[in-house]
């Protein structure tokens, strides 16, 4: 009974690290108008602070993942959370926009330590148990994208924009204390790699040349790249083309979180009862069917309901593919799980940076780019998995798995 309680306690703790990212990116978005006035600058300049934070995240994931393979998981995580707490506090006190943008980069770098949570999960579990555990983390952390904008709106309803960053500083302080006093080291010293910069970058070269690993990474990465495009495109598609109100859009967007939670929970229940590759095949097939439907509806100018359903199915496919592809990718990377987890985190971000701007290439009143990007993402995910992980007889569906 106690072991089960510890299992859920660890999952909740790691989910908090994973969920800190959405709070860092989304919680201050409702404050943009206030910040434009406070700093006496333009909206586009304030938006650069979000880009700076995302760039910090990209660089930080690579750095933090590699450092955790050398020095263990706990020490880099503690340092990162202290850095996060201090940078959040400094953001609230920033006197001008230039310093604020620089501090947001540091804040993004620090929050990237959330990728270490995935490495901790790999240290403690493997195989079916890892799939179940990571699905549990996904269920818990999926709540963060739903709560972050609402929490930001609630904070600025009774205080100024600085209040958002004071709240983030408090969250960082709580996680710093939690890591220091409650989190045990999961990577023994005898399993760590040499603390050599050449070796650290050599690990990434090894991972990038691993066909099986990269097949799973790119399958997940392209799917998440499609999700980035979905997030960037649907505000315009729903509100400009279909004319829904901001309130209805919020409900439709919240539906994504519910679907992600449900699909992750389904994967957790199926793990052990169904081969993991069969779950992955189902998710990839669902994404293909959903994106083909989206493109047909877009070209036919179909009703809102006809578009929402396949888009929700695409999100459900992502919720199915995510935990399974993570497990299959990480299975053989125990000694460099931090670096592997970092690549699993940064590649979707890089693909998202490419896909997101393309959604608006035809203007605010065209949904065609969104449909094309989602179908392309699905096809690339299927192609990457098939060519890199299946081509040489790896993960070929068997009669038993079918």
User: pLDDT of 330-361, one tens digit each?
Assistant: 776 756 766 777 788 778 777 876 776 677 77
**Closest by CA position to 114, among listed 24, 208, 48:** 24
Task: Provide the pLDDT for residue 399.
Answer: 31
pLDDT in tens, 364-379: 678 899 999 999 999 9
Mean pLDDT within 296-308: 94
**Closest by CA position to 149, among listed 249, 263, 11:** 249
Q: Please, are residues 367 and 300 in contact by the beta-carbon 8 Å criterion?
A: no
pLDDT in tens, 235-288: 778 877 898 876 677 678 778 778 887 887 788 788 778 888 899 999 999 999
Q: How many residues are there in the chain?
A: 402
Task: Provide the pLDDT for residue 97.
Answer: 94
Task: Provide the pLDDT for residue 396.
Answer: 40
Q: Is the dihedral of CA 345, 351, 354, 358 positive or negative?
A: negative
Determine the Cα–Cα distance for residues 143 and 261; give it in Å rounded to an integer.
8
Average pLDDT, the chain: 82
Mean pLDDT within 296-306: 94
Task: Provide the pLDDT for residue 401.
Answer: 39
**Closest by CA position to 296, among listed 374, 382, 381, 233:** 374
Paired tokens of 167: 């709240």
Max CA pair span of the chain: 65
Instruction: Decide if pLDDT at 113 tops 70.
Output: yes
Reported confidence tier of residue 196, pLDDT bands at 50, 70, 90: low
**Closest by CA position to 115, among listed 177, 168, 59:** 59
Q: Please, are residues 317 and 287 in contact by the beta-carbon 8 Å criterion?
A: yes
Task: Provide the pLDDT for residue 59.
Answer: 83
Q: Which is more confident, 310 or 202?
A: 310
Highest mean pLDDT among 4-8, 224-228, 361-365: 224-228
Determine the Cα–Cα distance for residues 229 and 27; give it in Å rounded to an integer.
20
Q: Please, are residues 65 and 343 in contact by the beta-carbon 8 Å criterion?
A: yes
Phi/psi for 178 (5° steps) reads -60, -45
Paired tokens of 38: 């406070």
Q: Please, are residues 42 and 97 in contact by the beta-carbon 8 Å criterion?
A: no
Task: Provide the pLDDT for residue 203.
Answer: 75
How distant, in Å, are the alpha carbons of 11, 189, 210, 221, 252 from that of 109?
23, 25, 27, 20, 31
Determine the Cα–Cα distance for residues 320 and 312; give it in Å rounded to an integer.
12
pTM above 0.75, yes or no: no
**Closest by CA position to 395, among listed 122, 213, 268:** 213
Domains of the chain: 2-186 (1.20.1250.20), 205-390 (1.20.1250.20)
How distant, in Å, are the alpha carbons of 228, 235, 242 from that of 247?
21, 12, 14
């Amino acid at each position: 009974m106690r072991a089960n309680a510890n299992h859920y306690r660890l999952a909740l703790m790691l989910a908090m690290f994973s969920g800190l990212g959405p709070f860092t990116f989304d919680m201050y978005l409702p404050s943009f108008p206030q910040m434009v006035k406070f700093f006496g600058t333009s909206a586009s300049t304030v938006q650069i602070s979000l880009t700076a934070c995302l760039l910090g995240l990209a660089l930080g994931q690579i750095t933090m993942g590699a450092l955790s393979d050398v020095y263990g998981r706990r020490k880099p995580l503690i340092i990162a959370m202290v850095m996060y707490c201090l940078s959040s506090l400094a953001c609230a006190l920033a006197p001008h926009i230039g310093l604020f943008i620089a501090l947001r980069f540091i804040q993004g770098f620090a929050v990237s330590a959330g990728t270490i949570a995935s490495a901790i999960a790999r240290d403690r579990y493997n195989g079916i148990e890892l799939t179940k555990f990571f699905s549990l983390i996904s269920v818990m952390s999926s709540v963060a994208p739903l709560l972050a904008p609402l929490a930001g709106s609630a904070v600025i309803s009774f205080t100024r924009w600085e209040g958002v960053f004071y709240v983030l500083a408090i969250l960082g302080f709580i996680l710093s204390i939690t890591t220091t006093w409650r989190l045990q080291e999961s990577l023994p010293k005898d399993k760590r790699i040499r603390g050599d910069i050449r070796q650290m970058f050599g690990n990434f070269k090894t991972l990038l040349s691993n066909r099986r690993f990269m097949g799973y990474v790119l399958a997940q990465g392209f799917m998440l790249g499609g999700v980035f495009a979905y997030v960037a495109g649907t505000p315009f598609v729903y509100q400009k083309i279909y004319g829904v109100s901001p309130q209805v859009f919020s409900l439709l967007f919240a539906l994504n979180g519910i679907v992600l939670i449900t699909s992750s929970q389904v994967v957790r229940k199926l793990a052990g009862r169904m081969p993991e590759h069969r779950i992955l095949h189902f998710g990839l097939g669902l994404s293909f069917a959903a994106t083909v439907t989206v493109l047909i509806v877009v070209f036919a100018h179909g009703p809102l309901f006809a578009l929402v359903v396949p888009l929700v199915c695409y999100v459900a496919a992502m919720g199915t593919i995510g935990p399974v592809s993570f497990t299959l990718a990480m299975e053989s990377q125990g000694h460099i799980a931090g670096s592997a987890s970092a690549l699993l985190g940064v590649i979707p971000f890089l693909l998202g940076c490419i896909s997101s701007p393309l959604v608006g290439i035809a203007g605010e009143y065209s949904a065609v780019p969104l449909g094309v990007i989602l179908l392309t993402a699905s096809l690339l995910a299927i192609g990457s998995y098939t060519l890199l992980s299946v081509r040489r007889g790896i993960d070929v569906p068997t009669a038993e798995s079918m």
